[in-house]
Structure 1
């Protein structure tokens, strides 16, 4: 190995073996070294590479590597949003419901809103006639355990409260401020499901509390009734239900009256006879369903020979047509409901329910009347 003070280039020979084409290609690398280093440096190095067509295509199109002197700017995180020093509370949603009945020519309005995460509701309702007079304004505060209903015209308040003493005991109270009267109620759920005992008493008390026992087949109530110039007597009222064959019987007794009813039903037909004792008033109801959209109902009273019939046809969920006749008042009628008849306005299309009714008296057809009822709700 010889040293030389002059700078001379030297070569490093690499032998590249390409297995795909079996070609050995020498690679020459010239490096200029200072004079104080070795003049000639020999490296025997033959690397083996396998180059495929795919790799060659990638290397041909790949961009050149970045310069080592290039500095990549750091990625800065977006600034966090600053919270305002003071925020106004969000306004609770307000619901406005208006209803008009052409028969009485009276508007009924109700404005309500829920607040404190729907824990309570504030409601204001009133009626007004077509001449603009406002009548029966009422303000109500309704929550789970306390409700206050205030009548502005009478300047009276009705208070209702409930308290859960335990998992099986609940206390309820109703008080009329102006009349100074109320009612106390205690409900105790027994160990068996479907059984409950209720004790209620008027305030101020006028006798023994009324006791009601509820069970899966009905309920029985016992209360004391005071009559003039007579001793107080016990009155027993109740309802009993049970199943016989393919029907359900119901026995309802109140004071000295007893009403027996039996309902036999299937998917297409219902037959419901009933009798009242001791008056022996007998009646029966017949219902026939002709399909999922058509139904006919008929009721006949044997003691008075009065009867009534109603035909109903539904067009989907929100459209219903009904027509009927009542022999007791000698009146024929037909009505069209837009929106669920028994549902609320919020479930109807456009949150609006409309009823059109035509009444035709049998004795005076010229006095027929067309009436309508509209109920609309707005969410503000």
Structure 2
């Protein structure tokens, strides 16, 4: 490998990623920095691409949850300097458009007009190569990179500031949650567990986590939540029975468009939305950070393939429920969550199951996708 190339995780075809030498990023705009990656996470959203369930093209570099050390600095960068330890939001913002100025950096209209921008060109959401590599270019770096304390302390915790900790927090906020209320989170994967953890930190009275994977339900119990195994019966019925027939105040969908029925194999994209509408009280709220896409090549029916999903809107209207949706505006939360980590008030790395080298990424993707050997959240170290 020459100084002009680096190792990276490259999408080859559905269910296959490989480690290849690719071009090392360069400063192309005065606002750029180049970061030497110390940790990059495998995200559940990466699996959508890995499984061929998006329009992702072979050859792209994966990785939108990145942190590391600033290695090169563009001439217009004023805040960051070489040697700074930083973590980057998974969505790229310019910091200058109307949405960025209003704190809606996930919907930057300058970087990628009309939709969300990621590292890794995630399903046509942005032009930037991902960070499951030795180096990554960070555009609009003073805006996008969050400075961290120097050293190696809390590495796993800080890496989760790129996506899942803020996204879980965002899911609870989208629901309209107020301290003292009860919350149900559908999906006990990394984002779901972060939503449940965030609800606890924000002062929830009861938090229910719905899943069917034992390791996830065990983690939910460990952080003081009430696990609900939907493979053993209808989740809503189980919750209502535990609550003496009373519904919950708020619900979070941390599953998204690949939701399944109780067998864990039969996809039913609307099943979580239907359950939330049933289990949340009249005038309650739904937060939906779980990913839904406008096109799904592997959808179970022609409507879902076009992003159309049916759910009981009449019941939603009748109950006066509110809905909040959309990707997380990471910058609205990450510095505050960073400080919770620094103070010892938050330790989100409890979700991390494996830390492996970059070279082990292909095997880690396979195991994470098959939910084997306890693979729940994987960190890659180049």
Shorter-chain TM range is under 0.3
Q: TM-score, normalising length from structure 1?
A: 0.23
Higher Rg? 1
Bigger strand fraction: 1
Task: Give the TM-score normalised by the residue count of structure 2.
Answer: 0.23
Bigger relative CO (Cα 8 Å, ≥ 6 apart):
2
